[in-house]
Structure 1
Amino acid sequence: MDELEQFYGGTPDDLLEARLAQIEEALFGERPAAEALLAWDGDKLVGFASYSFHWPAEGFTTSLYLKELYVAQSSRRTGVGKRLMTALGEIARARRCSRFEWGTDTGNETAQRFYASLGATPNDGKVAYRVTL
């Protein structure tokens, strides 16, 4: 998670205990905000994908929304990201989702090339908004 925070320009100043408590609440709290897939190489965590389900999607179905796909720098270009994306697609099909959606920062050309290599195309029909609370 420190590497992810640094990737987005942050500095992981929070105490480890505080970050672990935030993860615990988000994934295992009374109302989990997301689910996550973890990619391991032996006993080393090398990647993860956090996702949730949006409703309504097409025809009042659900959509699997990938919030974050991250592969450790040392494990990139080894197939970890592709395996995580494949597993997410399988989860979406098993849950009868009509869509599998995600976004990336406009300047993250590496991620955009990766997603294009999987056959994905950008959705120009949406504008994203954010309010920081």
Structure 2
Amino acid sequence: FVSEQYRRKGLGHQMMAFIAQRAQEKSCSQLDWLSVREDEAAQGFYASLGAKVVEEVNYHRLDQHFLAQLANQPDQA
């Protein structure tokens, strides 16, 4: 994440390049991340890197209530 005051200075690109270099060192074949769909600036930035939106996956979340409920369930072996 790049704070607003530091955006448009090349830091985001440097960070993503660093991550890509480390991924290649670890023999990763792809890099995935999440972003806010409505953040047009972020979408444009990621598109400029060559990133494509993956439509065939769903992002799931358990809120605090259901997280606690699941954590407190007895083992179901």
What is the TM-score of this pair, normalised by structure 2? 0.77
- The 5-angstrom pairing of residues 52-91 of structure 1 reads 70-91=1-22
Query: Which protein has the larger Cα radius of gyration, Structure 1 or Structure 2?
Result: 2
By percentage of residues, which structure has more helix?
2
Shift of 1:73: 1.4
Alignment match, 1:63: none
Q: What are structure 1's unaligned runs of at least 5 residues?
A: 1-69
Shift of 1:81: 0.1
What is the TM-score of this pair, normalised by structure 1? 0.46
Structure 1 residue runs of 4+, over 3 Å off?
none
In angstroms, what is the RMSD of aligned CA positions?
0.9
Alignment match, 2:40: 109
Partner AA of 2:60 in structure 1 = Y
Q: What are structure 2's unaligned runs of at least 5 residues?
A: 65-77
Alignment match, 1:128: 59
- The 5-angstrom pairing of residues 12-31 of structure 1 reads none
Counterpart secondary structure, 2:51: coil
Deviations 1:63-121 (A, max 9, x none): xxxxxxx1121111000000000000001110111221112112111110100011111
Shift of 1:129: 0.9
